[in-house]
Amino acid sequence: MFNTCRATLLLLLYKGILFFSLALLAVSCGKQESAEFVFRYSNEQPKDALRSQSMVFFKEQLEERTNGRIKVELFFGGVIGNERELMDFVLTGVLQGTRGGFFADANPKFILFTLPFLVDDWDQAQRLVQSDFTRKINEGARERGFHVPATGISQGFRAHTNSKRPIQHPDDLKGLKMRVPSQEVYVQTSKAFGANPQELPYGEVYQALQTGVVDGQDNAPSNIWDYKIHEVSKYLTITNYATGPDPLMVNLEWYESLPRDLRDIFDGVSRETMEFSDRINREKEAEYIEKISNKLEMNHVPGDDLIPFRDAVKPVYQYFAEKGILTLDEIQKAREVATDKSIKP
């Protein structure tokens, strides 16, 4: 059986908790509850965020359907670490699961989903994440020590905010210091738009905007609201230029320690959780945009006005093809799957 007490002790050591806390934990570990397995999960979003809410659903369903044989412990709001650290903790077995932005650590091909203008709307994004294309990428994560039972859509389409000016054209982004995650696809896309990308963990963005270290950022509307980015920005621009994948990253060793019946239940609940997550994110996206627009000046870039944006980022596709991460044929096939209206999302 996976050594859950040892994992928790390591977790507390990583975060520098006081010695007496470790002693108390050691005592409590000697009095394990009836659960045969413990699934410790963390994401950086606060507890009220939609991603976190979907994991509460996951906890309720998994504990009920396994009759308490698997206990789920949830840690929200970055109390364990940032998204990069959480991926490391899952890989090393300190945690058993996470969701966040460093999916390419598990399989570089997850970058596919973040390519600018690969998909145009929620239906296209859902066709893609539900496809065999995605299942193969999920399976590829096993080579790096991760089990990915399901992948959803990462909280919606990314929108830009900044403190300098409305964004009507890529030229309006030129020279702006835009925060991006420390992932190459976002760095290259920001450069292609003409911005000056600044890599920062999302938990540091509020202060960076407040102090002028960066001029702006882009993220899903729910994240913009949950992290209160609207308080330190003046302009919101909707281009729907990209979304991303939301895979549930699970420590492979822990997963394979489960008996077959629990693996089947775990995978089924994971799929249902991602469907639940996608549904509430889709339903709430317009609500978040409206709330943010009441705080900022908003503009929407429609139809043909997006052509300069699309043209600007074409080199990003070629960049990743030349690096050998994706082929142009794979990108084209993914686009065909996403736009195939005969497939019901």
Q: Would you tell me the crossing angle of helices 19-29 and 4-14 to the nearest 10 degrees?
A: 170
**Cross-strand pairs, 152:** 246
Q: Give the domain ranges of the chain.
A: 4-107+144-153+246-285, 159-243+286-339
pLDDT of residue 203: 85
Tens digits of residue pLDDT in 21-32? 334 334 445 444
pLDDT of residue 305: 98
Tens digits of residue pLDDT in 173-185? 999 999 999 999 9
Tell me if the domain spanning 4-107+144-153+246-285 has CATH number 1.10.10.10: no
- The Cα–Cα gap between 243 and 334 comes to 14
pLDDT of residue 12: 56
- The Cα–Cα gap between 157 and 241 comes to 7
Residue 302 CB neighbour total at 10 angstroms: 9
Q: Judge contact between 151 and 274, C-beta under 8 A.
A: yes
Output 133-139 pairs: Cβ under 8 A, ≥24 positions apart. 133/333, 133/334, 133/337, 134/245, 137/107, 137/109, 137/110, 137/112, 138/107, 138/247
For the whole model, what pTM was predicted? 0.87
pLDDT of residue 159: 97
Q: Decide: residue 345, CB within 10 A, 0-12 exposed, 13-18 middle, 19+ buried.
A: middle
In CATH, what number does 159-243+286-339 get?
3.40.190.170
Q: Would you tell me the crossing angle of helices 132-140 and 328-339 to the nearest 10 degrees?
A: 130
Cα torsion 122, 123, 126, 131 to 10°: value is -150
Which residues neighbour 30 within 8 Å (Cβ) at sequence distance 6 or greater? none
Q: Decide: residue 291, CB within 10 A, 0-12 exposed, 13-18 middle, 19+ buried.
A: middle
Fold match, 4-107+144-153+246-285 / 159-243+286-339? yes
Q: Judge contact between 116 and 215, C-beta under 8 A.
A: no
Tens digits of residue pLDDT in 253-312? 999 999 999 999 999 999 999 999 999 999 999 999 999 999 999 999 999 999 999 999
User: pLDDT: is 133 or 264 the higher one?
Assistant: 264
Judge whether residue 67 has pLDDT over 50.
yes
